[in-house]
């Protein structure tokens, strides 16, 4: 077997569902990452809003190491101590009473959508016709066949039909359309409080209030997809807390394990208990290794200094981006919440966010696209201020070369 691998091996070995960058990261520490050639980068992408506490956080390394010396996997014919502690942390911190653990955001959303239909079916409402799921244009909820169908981006479901039925998409942030479109046949409404993949677009408060009210009127469940916004990303543990509106079901993943795969669906006892023994499951869901890491993540993120630090870093990012744009006018708008920030390219540069990301690599930073027109930043919640400033200075250099090109 060949010991040395290079980026050129990707096309021979991996199914081509990704188009990775030419560099291969090999080591991370805090908000720094080194590639296979030894070059150092500042990470303002966070593994797509995953490494909320940075790379190789010593407390997480210690938690994982200790659990690895105890028990790795036991299967769901047993429970385990780390997952019970994690469930307690999540329910104590939220509206929920019950948690289902999975491996990803897609699986958490799959569980939420299945539970919503099971809840409606058990109640046998509207002669068994209460199965419609309402989602929103340009949303993203995962890559399983069910969740990709619920997501409001047809490009991700094209070629995989026939798709699941009973799913409707309405305009995002359109109160009147939501009030008309959500009906007695609706069993659930699923919404991202910030649409991350389609441009970092926050849900407006009036819109979320209307969803809550209309769901209550027709007996539908309101699902908040907080896969990307949860675990401190917006400056609250979950974004719904800032809105002051409580869902019936919440999903989270990404930053919950800081890179160790884990997802969770949180709900109330009256809803969650419609999942009965054998009605749903996950081989690795609630794995002791993942749960041990997530327990430590939650402990750190819930500290007041962590969440207040997100708000401080948000202000630094926005002020610096505005300064950059006053000098090099390439952006039309900055939006988002906390440390999930989207910078939309203006008319002269639209459609070229991938090129700006390439210039950022050349300048020594990791950034993200959020569609063809938006640069996305999702750094660690605890990135040191001096490192953040260095990263934003590198971003300015990247914007300069991008604009000159």
Q: Tell me the C-alpha distance between 213 and 157, whole Å.
A: 31
Count of the separate structural domains present in the chain: 2
Same domain, 35 and 110: no
In terms of domains, do 296 and 313 share one?
Answer: no
Whether residue 31 is found in the same domain as residue 78: no
Query: Are 366 and 400 in the same domain?
Result: yes
> Which of 285, 271, 290 lies closest to 114, judged by CA?
271
Whether 245 contacts 65, CB under 8 Å: no
Rounded Cα distance, 55 and 239, in Å = 23
Distance (Å, whole) CA 145 – CA 103? 16
User: Quick check: is 65 in a domain?
Assistant: no
75 lies in the same domain as 215: yes
Is the residue at 1 inside a domain? Answer: no
- Does residue 296 sit in the same domain as residue 331? no
Task: Tell whether 61 is covered by a domain.
Answer: no
Evaluate whether 369 touches 197 at the Cβ level (below 8 Å): no
CATH number where 382 lies: 3.90.1150.10
Is 367 part of any domain? Answer: yes
Burial of 15 (0-12, 13-18, 19+ CB in 10 A): exposed
Q: Which domain holds residue 358?
A: 7-56+304-404
From the number of C-beta atoms within 10 Å of its C-beta (0-12, 13-18, 19+), residue 188 rates as buried
**112 in the same domain as 23:** no
Query: What pLDDT score does 127 carry?
Result: 58
101 vs 108: CA distance, rounded Å: 7
β pairing state of 221-225 and 186-192 = parallel
Element (H, E) at 352: none
Tell me, yes or no, whether 252 lies in a domain. yes
- Claim to verify: residue 163 and residue 31 sit in the same structural domain: no
**Could you list the pLDDT tens digit for every one of the 405 residues in the chain?**
567 888 888 988 889 988 889 999 999 999 999 999 999 999 999 999 999 999 999 999 999 999 999 999 998 999 999 999 999 999 999 999 999 999 999 999 999 999 999 999 998 755 568 999 999 999 999 999 999 999 989 999 999 989 999 999 999 999 999 999 999 999 999 999 999 999 999 999 999 999 999 999 999 999 999 999 999 999 999 999 999 999 999 999 999 999 999 999 999 999 999 999 999 999 999 999 999 999 999 999 999 999 999 999 999 999 999 999 999 999 999 999 999 999 999 998 999 999 999 999 999 999 999 999 999 999 999 999 999 999 999 999 999 999 998
Question: Please, which residues bridge with residue 134 across strands?
Answer: 168, 189
Burial status of residue 242 (CB atoms within 10 A of its CB: 0-12, 13-18, 19 or more): middle
- DSSP assignment string, 51-89: -TT-BT-HHHHHHHHHHHTT-S---TTS--HHHHHHHHH
pLDDT at 194 (0 to 100): 98
DSSP H or E stretch at residue 147: helix 145-150
CATH for 103: 3.40.640.10
Last residue of a domain, one of 266, 301, 336: 301
**Cα-flanking dihedrals φ and ψ of residue 283, to 5°?**
-55, -45
Q: Do residue 359 and residue 377 come from a single domain?
A: yes
Residues 78, 175, single domain; the answer is yes
**Burial call 338-361: b when 16+ CB within 10 Å, e when fewer:** bbbbbbbbeeebeebbeebbbbbb
CA 98 to chain centre: 21
Residue 354 lies in a domain: yes
Q: Is 136 in the same domain as 213?
A: yes
Boundary of a domain, candidates 301, 324, 350 = 301
DSSP string, 245-286: ---SEEEE-GGGTTTS--EEEEE-HHHHTTS-TTSS--SSTT
Tell me how many degrees the CA angle 279-224-345 measures, rounded to the nearest 5: 135
Q: Which residues have CB under 8 Å from 159's CB, separation 6+?
A: none
- Looking at the domain assignment, is residue 63 inside a domain? no
Residue 267 maps to a domain: yes
SS3 at position 9: helix
Task: Look at residue 1 in the predicted model and tell me its pLDDT.
Answer: 58
Boundary of a domain, candidates 301, 333, 365: 301
- Pair 88, 13 in one domain: no
């Amino acid at each position: 077997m060949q010991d040395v691998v290079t980026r050129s091996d990707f096309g021979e070995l991996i199914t081509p569902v990704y188009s990775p960058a030419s560099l291969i990261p090999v080591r991370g520490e805090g908000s720094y990452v080194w590639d296979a050639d030894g070059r150092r980068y500042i990470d303002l992408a966070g593994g797509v809003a995953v490494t909320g506490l940075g790379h190789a956080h010593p407390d997480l390394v210690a938690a994982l190491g200790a659990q690895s010396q105890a028990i790795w996997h036991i299967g769901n014919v047993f429970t385990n101590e780390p997952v019970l502690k994690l469930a307690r942390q999540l329910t104590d911190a939220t509206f929920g009473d019950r948690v289902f653990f999975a491996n990803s955001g897609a699986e958490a959303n799959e569980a939420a959508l299945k539970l919503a239909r099971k809840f409606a079916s058990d109640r046998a409402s509207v002669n068994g016709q209460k199965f419609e799921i309402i989602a929103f244009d340009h949303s993203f909820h995962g890559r399983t066949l069910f969740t990709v169908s619920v997501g409001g981006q047809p490009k991700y479901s094209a070629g995989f039909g026939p798709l699941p039925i009973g799913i409707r998409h309405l305009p995002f942030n359109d109160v009147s359309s939501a009030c008309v479109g959500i009906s007695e046949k609706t069993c659930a409404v699923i919404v991202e409080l910030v649409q991350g993949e389609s441009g970092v677009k926050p849900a407006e408060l009036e819109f979320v209030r209307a969803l809550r009210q209309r769901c209550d009127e027709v007996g539908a469940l309101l699902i908040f997809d907080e896969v990307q916004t949860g675990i401190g990303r917006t400056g609250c543990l979950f974004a719904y807390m800032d809105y002051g509106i409580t869902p019936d079901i919440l999903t989270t993943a990404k930053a919950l394990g800081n890179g160790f795969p884990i997802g969770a669906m949180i709900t109330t006892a009256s809803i969650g208990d419609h999942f009965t023994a054998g009605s749903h499951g996950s081989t690795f869901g609630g794995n002791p290794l993942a749960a041990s890491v997530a327990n430590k993540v939650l402990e750190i993120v819930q500290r007041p200094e962590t969440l207040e630090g997100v708000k401080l870093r948000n202000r630094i990012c926005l002020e610096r981006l505005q300064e950059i744009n006053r000098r090099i006018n390439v952006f039309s708008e900055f939006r988002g919440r906390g440390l999930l920030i989207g910078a939309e390219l203006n008319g002269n540069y639209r459609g070229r966010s991938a090129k700006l990301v390439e210039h950022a690599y050349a300048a020594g930073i990791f950034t993200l696209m959020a569609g063809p027109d938006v640069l996305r930043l999702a750094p660690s919640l605890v990135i040191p201020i001096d490192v953040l400033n260095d990263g934003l200075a590198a971003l300015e250099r990247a914007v300069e070369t991008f604009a000159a090109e």
